[in-house]
Amino acid sequence: MKTLSWKRVGAIALTLATIALVGCRQDMHNQPKYLPLRESDFYADKRSARPIIEGTVARGQLYEDSYYFTGKVGNNYATEFPFPVTEPVLKRGQERYNIYCSPCHSELGDGNGMIVSRGLKKPPSYHTERLRTAPVGHFFDVITNGFGAMGDYASQVSVQDRWAIVAYIRALQLSQNATRADVPAGTQIANQPPNTNVEEMVPASQPEAQYGEGVAGKQGAVKK
């Protein structure tokens, strides 16, 4: 009985491996698939991508609540929020507003954002009579679809966050136009802003009493 040499065994193994790899490569290369928008001879309309079956809705895309998703009732803007405006909602709205809106509208909503200092067009202030009396659905629609020079933010900001931003815009408007009558009964109101003048608050001879030991040396002597 003849025995195969190691050299011949190696050659046979290499040949088999090469055949296997070539076969695998062709099978994967010639998959029965269509690339996006490629024409098909199988269907009468020649489209390889098939339309959605009539009456079906993708999971999470059943937009039945048109008030929530459009900010409108028919052709009229919504005048109320579709959910309660709570403190977490306002905080979320503030966060999203500062990210997406403040570069143009500023953190106060007066339209003096960073883009204005760069020479771009100034957006209107939220504190004009026209926008203070505008329904909440107007702001939601502008964020969703854009308005004038402003592009839409539908792809960047979720529906829930758009409503949260609108709630925060309302809070900004109230903060800049509030009166004593808007403050709940029993709440104390300061007659003037708190004193932030360090020279008046801290005696010149005892700066450590206010700031702690060592601060005076770091910040310099307080003027008399």
Determine the residue type at 55.
G
Model confidence band, residue 208 (pLDDT cutoffs 50, 70, 90): very low
Model confidence band, residue 142 (pLDDT cutoffs 50, 70, 90): very high
**The tokens of 18 are what?**
């090469």
Arithmetic mean of pLDDT, 99-112: 94
Name the nearest CA neighbour of 68 among 132, 164, 201. Answer: 164
- Write out pLDDT tens, residues 70-92: 999 999 999 999 999 999 999 99
Handedness of CA 69, 73, 76, 77 (dihedral sign): negative
Q: Which residue has the tokens 């300061």?
A: 190
State the Cα–Cα distance between residues 14 and 81, nearest whole angstrom: 72
> What is the DSSP track for 53-113?
PTT---TT-----HHHHHSEETTEEP-S-SS---HHHHHHHHHHHHHHTHHHH-TTSSS--
State the Cα–Cα distance between residues 124 and 169, nearest whole angstrom: 13
Element at 164 (helix H, strand E): helix 159-177
What's the whole-number average pLDDT of the chain?
81
- Structural domains in the chain? 85-178 (1.10.760.10)
Model confidence band, residue 68 (pLDDT cutoffs 50, 70, 90): very high
**The tokens of 191 are what?**
């007659």
Model's pTM, two decimal places? Answer: 0.62
pLDDT at 220: 36
Arithmetic mean of pLDDT, 10-29: 66
Tell me how far the alpha carbon of residue 8 is from its chain's centroid. 66
State the Cα–Cα distance between residues 6 and 3, nearest whole angstrom: 9
Q: Using an 8 Å Cβ cutoff, are 67 and 82 in contact?
A: yes
Q: Using an 8 Å Cβ cutoff, are 40 and 48 in contact?
A: yes
